[in-house]
Structure formats: structure tokens, C-alpha cells
Chains A and B, each alone.
With several copies, the nearest count.
Chain A
């Protein structure tokens, strides 16, 4: 034996199958019937709630289940029921409805040319609102563009949010950002980016800093299921695991990334919650249209982080009922009836049904509140428009364009400002 190579293998049998490239099919197409056969029907109340201190491994089976509290009759069942008082539930309902009313109004404002762009979170209100309710007001949020409900539920004035969308003279962001890319330090709401995913490691870094300082505030972040393919998702999970950062990492799986179904993001035959397993992180998978389940799961993950047991990843399973944005036309890529046939219903209807069942609410109050909120939003919009709209202005003056690039303006920017004649 003086050779170092494997003996010649028989040439691959010509009968052996040829390789084939798998491309996830795009279905159902517009015109076809909605098909949610890929979504198992998980019963409410079936998942047990472990102690917040359990080893991460103990949570891994949850990656393939779905934590649900509200059953089909609007009954709150199971271990994950946070047992919230009716007054708080009504506030939550109101916040979700206000979010929806706000979205509807601003979407129309865009259609009327008063703003350039808008993004709704219709059908996903239980996420921003339910999580805001479960977190401490000063827990630092690193959201993406579909958590406006969080800002609303933290009591931030719609007027201020609208002025940002109008890019008017009262826009706290000085007309620099696309509508909905809010930043509100006072509400512990981090500056939204256009770049998908980048907030995820920011939350981990903030949480590491909070732990480094012996603080008690945790960080919370959100990412869309489509954006989990970005590097920042991997970075956030790796660093959160290595440094046991006190952070809650939410994946909002609303089934769509513009026109791409969650299969394209790698959701086929697995779940986004299960991405946490390999990093040794805790994970929960939650019915994102169930206010109580969202609240309960978030409360658990936040308490776990606060107790130095480390990070939890939560997959919030929901459906993007709205178009991706005002620039999008879903009728080109999905059946019109998909939203209505989403197996897990609508978060507002479901919480409302629950309150009614508790005898704490009524269809009448529901309708009345809806129109109250619509009026409130319309009024606020009128007021905001007094400070200007994108169409008419006034906007911040052009010379402010050169500010905040650096803390102090260097000579070349001063000179460019002069060049502009300011």
C-alpha cells in the first residue's frame, strides 16, 4: 500500500436519480382559494407554563406548539392565562382599536397625498399593545415598523406620531425620516431603521449594557419572519446566548414578507421559534392574535430575563391582514380572502368577545367605541395638519439638513450649507 487515495468507487449508477432543485412553490395564487392547511389547529390552554427559571432546553418543545389562552368561545383557559382585571383588558382593547383607527386614517392620508408612505399593522395589534402592557414602561424597545401599537399603548400622543408622518414643522425627526420610522426616547422606543434586522443586535447590546450597569431594565426587540434571514438575527441570538443578555427577542411571523411567503424565509417544516434551539436559548411560540397569550408569554420572558435567567425568543404567530405598505398591492400575489380565513381570527374581535363573555363589555359599547376613536383620530389629524402636511408643508428649513450628521458640524458641512445659500 503506497497510495493515499480511496480505491476507485464504481461510477455513480446511471440509473441513480439526478439532482433536482427545489424552489418553494408560490401558492395559493390570487384567484385561488386560501389554503391554510399548513397551519395546524392548536387548542387553547394545552401548553403548560413552566417556572421562569427552567433551563432553556425545557422550553424547546414549545417551539413546535402554540401558546393560546383565548379559546374559540372567548373563554380564557390554561396555565398561560395572565388573569388580567377587566379594566386593564378594556384598556388593551381600546389601545388596539385606537391603533387600528390610526392606521386606517393615516393610510387614507397617504392615498390623499398628504403623506408619502404608510404601513399598517392591521390584524397584528395584539402584539405591540399586548407586549407593551406586559412590559415595564421603561423596558427599552427596539421595534421594527409594525409595532406602532407599542408606542400608542405606552401613551405616546398620536399628534406627535402624526407630525412625524406629515414631516411637518412639529416632526420631532425634522422631516428626515420616512413616515412611521418613529424615534421616541422618552417612551423608551428606539429609532426605527429602514434596514431590516439591524435593531435586533442593538437590543442585545443595550441589554448587555443594562446588565453591565446592574440596572433592572431589560431590552425587547421585534423582527419580521422574513428578516430573520439577515445576519443581524444570527448575531443577536449568538451574542444573547454567549452573554446571557436580559432581552426578549420577538419574531413576528405574519406569514408574508411583501410578496414572499414564510416558506421563502425558511419556515417550511420548521418554526421560527425553533431557531432559538441551536443557540441554547429559551423559546416560546404564541398565538399572536390572542391578547392574553401574548401578554402571558411576554410577562414570562420578561420575568425570566429580569431574574438573570437570560434571553427568550418568542415567535408571534399572526397574519399580515394589511398590504405590506401603501406601495404594495397584495392582490397581485395572494387571494383576497386570505385575511378573513386566517384560522386564528382577529385580535380585536377575540378580546372583545372575551370581555363580552365576562359581562364586562357589549357589542354596543364596541361599536360606539370604534366610532369615538375614529372621531378622536380624525380630530387629531386635523390638529396635526395645522402644523403642515407633506404636501403643503411647512417642513423644517433646509439648513437643518446639515445638523445631527455629527454632534458638531465640521467645516465641510458648514461650507456645503453656505454653498446652498444658508
Chain B
């Protein structure tokens, strides 16, 4: 099996779906001739034609607006938002239209739309190219939210998202596009090729939505993470020499509660880590659920390690980013209790 970067795996998923389903159309800013500022749609217009892969005006809300209409007709639009930070103009169409259409029409119409957006920091993008906004969408009934952490999942989950008949917001940790990132910017960048999850089948395959993956077994503490933080958590556990069980959520909504509960009941301790700001971040929901389901198994408070409740500062990126040291510290606090 070929080794793919996350960019190549996403491109391959789009390629596969364009070939399988004539209803799939892909559009967004600079995704056509150019192939996207992160190259995820590279070559797709050349191969499948400009009617299927095309540039749009700079109007995220407009993209979602027309996507809802296309979905009502019977197409499967895949929309690229150039950066998750720029999804806000699309929130009204995403929430008021896409997420509510099936319900309000009594099931007559629905919105089989996938919204892709690069998220997270690590590239010195400053406060408007680094945001993690997943918690806004996980609060919205009618939306599914997915965040992959490696090429294999990225392709399999994106295929599932496109095939899903409900709207899916698909966030791509941009710091992982070209290699896994353990949260040590000072170390040389590692390519995906070395990584086992970079072996990705050329053809069609799906990773089902709603299923987490235990990426590291352990008995001492459960770590709930997704996206870039999966790699950071692995590094933190190694560096701290802590027998942590690390769960890659992959899909935030619908959430794989059983995998989470099984693990926490086993370890009795839980650390939640995400890059997004803390207050009302997805970690809040995870903490609430864990204590609801595992209260009598918990031996220590659930610890949240997150981005600070500030914008993502350009020059202070690594003071903001919840790196291995901070996660390891969280692990220790969870163990001490």
C-alpha cells in the first residue's frame, strides 16, 4: 500500500468519490484550477472537469447557501472553507438551513453536504489562520463533526462524510497535512511516510463515523484527544513514562461514548486535551459526559489541557499551543488526583 500524506489521502478520497458518484461536486475558494491553497484538490479539476470541481466567489455563506440547494436537488456538494477561521460567515446557512432542513421539512428534504476546513495552529498563522472552532458546531443539533488525525482515517472518514446524507463538518488539522506532529516544533519535521497510519489504500474504503480508536492502550489514565493532539498526547505519555490509554475520538458528533466509558471505567482517571479555547470547548462536554457515566469509577478530577482562552497569538504560538509538557503535566495531575 502506498504511503500518503494527509493531503494526498484527502485528495484521494475526493478523487474516489468523484469517480464513484456523479452527484459529487467540489467547490470553494481556489480549489479549481489551482487545486487549493493547501493543494488538497490538486489535479481534480483537470481530471474531472470544471463543472465538478470549481472556484467560487469569496463568500463562505454563499457556498453553503448554494450547497443546500444542490443537496435538495440530489447532488452531494463538498465545500472547502479555506480556513476554519473563515467559517463564521457560513454559520447561518450551516445552522439555520443545512442542519435543520430534514427536521423542519418532516424528512422531505435534507442536506447531504460535507464542509471541509483546515483547522488548528502550528504554522504561525496568527489568530485568523489557527482557530479550532469545532465546539460551535457540536452544539448544533443536526450537524455531524469529524476531525481525523492521520492519512488513513482522513481518507476513510472523508469518504463516509461525503456518503452521509446529513451535513458533516470535517475539520483537517493543517499542522498534520505533511507529517505527524508531536508538539515539538524545535525538532525536525517528520514525514508521514514513516507512520503506519500513512499506508492508505488507493481505492474506495470507509472509516465509519461515530467510532473512536484506542491508539495506545494503558491502565493508568485515559486521554481523550482528536486531531493534532493525538500525536501530542502520545509524545506526552512516552516522555512522562505514564501508562496512559489514548483514545482518538475521530468523530466528535455522534460521539463514541462506549469506547470512552469503557476506558475511563478501566483507568479511573481522565485527561482531555484540545487545541481550542477551554471555556465551552468540546472538552467541557467530554468532562460532563465522563462524570455522568463514570462518576463512581473516577479517582481524581477530570483534567482539561487546552488552548488558553485568548486568540491564537502569532509570535507566542508555542506558548499558546498545549504541547507535550502541558499534557504530561495534566497526566501527572490526573494521577496525583
Residue of A117, A195, A401, A407 near B96 (CB, 8 A) is A195
* Contacting residues, chain A, for B310 (C-beta < 8 A): 401-402, 405, 413
Whether the Cβ atoms of A191 and B316 lie closer than 8 Å is: no
Query: Is A299 an interface residue when CB atoms closer than 8 A count as contact?
Result: no
Contact between chains at B57 and A205 (CB < 8 Å): no
B180, CB-defined interface residue at 8 Å:
no
Q: Which of A193, A235, A410 interacts with B62 by CB under 8 Å?
A: A235
Interface flag for B108 (CB, 8 Å): yes
CA distance A403 to B127 in the complex (A): 15
Confirm or deny: B86 has a beta carbon within 8 angstroms of a beta carbon on chain A: yes
The interface residues of chain A lying within 8 Å CB-to-CB of B311 are 176, 405
CB neighbors of A among B122-162 (8 A): 124-129, 141-142, 144
**Interface: A97 (CB within 8 A):** no
**Distance in Å: Cβ of A119 to nearest Cβ of chain B:** 13
Give the nearest-CB partner of A209 in chain B: B73
Which listed residue, A185, A212, A258, touches B75 by the CB 8 Å rule? A212
Encode A394-417 as 1/0 by CB contact (under 8 A) with B: 011010111111110011110010
In the bound assembly, the distance between CA atoms of A190 and B110 in angstroms comes to: 11
Q: Is A404 a contact of B106 with CB atoms below 8 Å?
A: yes
Q: List 18 A-B contacts (CB under 8 A).
A: A23-B32, A140-B73, A176-B103, A201-B61, A230-B58, A231-B89, A231-B92, A236-B65, A239-B65, A239-B66, A260-B55, A264-B56, A332-B34, A395-B315, A396-B316, A401-B310, A410-B210, A413-B309
- A180–B59 CA distance with the chains assembled, in angstroms: 23
Category for how many chain A residues contact B: 35 or more
Whether, in the assembled complex, A26 has its beta carbon less than 8 Å from a beta carbon of chain B, the answer is yes
Contact (Cβ within 8 A) B65 A395: no
Q: A231, B61: Cβ atoms under 8 Å?
A: yes
Is the CB–CB distance between B72 and A23 below 8 Å? no
Task: Write the chain B residue with the least CB distance to A195.
Answer: B96
Q: Bound state CA distance, A232 and B126, in angstroms?
A: 22
Q: Which of A3-11, A87-95, A166-174 contacts B (4 or more CB under 8 A)?
A: A166-174
- Cβ contact within 8 Å between B37 and A258: yes
A334, B107: Cα distance in complex, Å? 41
**A182-210 interface with B by 8 A CB criterion:** 183-185, 190-191, 193-198, 200-210
A257 to B37, CA, bound (A): 12
Pair B97/A178 contact, Cβ less than 8 Å: no
A420 to B315, CA, bound (A): 16
Residue-wise interface mask of B (204-216) relative to A, using a CB-CB cutoff of 8 A (1 in contact, 0 not): 0000001000000
Q: Shortest Cβ distance from A162 into chain B, in angstroms?
A: 14
CA distance A400 to B308 in the complex (A): 12
| CB of B313 closer than 8 Å to a CB of A | yes
The residues of B that contact A117 with a CB separation of less than 8 Å are 124
Distance of B327 from chain A, by nearest CB (Å): 13
Contact B65 A202 (CB under 8 A): yes
Q: Does B320 contact A (CB under 8 A)?
A: yes
CB of A227 closer than 8 Å to a CB of B: yes
B61 close to A209 (CB less than 8 A):
no
Q: How large is the interface on B (under 10, 10 to 19, 20 to 34, 35 or more residues)?
A: 35 or more
A201–B62 CB distance below 8 A: yes
- Within 8 Å of chain A (Cβ to Cβ): is B50? yes
B30, A258: Cβ atoms closer than 8 Å: yes
Bound complex: CA A173 to CA B35 (Å): 34
Contacts of B109 in A (CB 8 A): 183, 185, 190-191
Is A1 interfacial (CB-CB < 8 Å)? Answer: no
**A21 in contact with B51 (CB, 8 Å):** yes
The CA-CA distance from A264 to B50 in the complex, in Å, is 13
Which residues of chain A from 330 to 367 have a CB within 8 Å of any chain B CB? 332-333
B72, A175: Cβ atoms under 8 Å?
A: no
Q: Is B254 an interface residue (CB 8 A)?
A: yes
* Chain A residues, CB < 8 A from B97: 193, 195, 198, 202
Residues of A within 8 A of B71 (CB): 205
Residues of chain A contacted by B54 (CB below 8 angstroms): 23
A403 vs B309: C-alpha distance when bound (angstroms): 11
Contact status of A420 and B308, CB under 8 A, knowing A202-B68, A208-B69, A407-B102: yes
Q: Report the Cα distance A209→B101, complex, angstroms.
A: 18
Q: State how many angstroms separate the Cβ of A179 from the closest Cβ of chain B.
A: 8
Contact of B315 among A230, A265, A390 (CB under 8 A): A390
Q: Which residues of A contact B93 (CB under 8 A)?
A: 198, 201, 232
Instruction: Check B246 for interface membership: any CB of A closer than 8 A.
Output: no
Are A242's CB and B29's CB within 8 A? Answer: no
Instruction: Tell whether A191 pairs with B108 under 8 Å between CB atoms, given A175-B313, A209-B75, A405-B311.
Output: yes
Q: Which B residue's beta carbon lies closest to that of A194?
A: B128
- Is A123 part of the contact surface with B, judged by Cβ < 8 Å? no
The answer on a CB contact under 8 Å between A200 and B315 is: no
Asked if A412 contacts B102 (CB within 8 A), the reply is: no
Contact A401 B320 (CB under 8 A): yes
B319 interfacial by beta-carbon distance below 8 Å: yes
Shortest CB–CB separation between residue A17 and chain B, in angstroms?
16
CB-CB nearest in chain B for A332: B34
Q: Is the CB of B104 within 8 A of A176?
A: yes
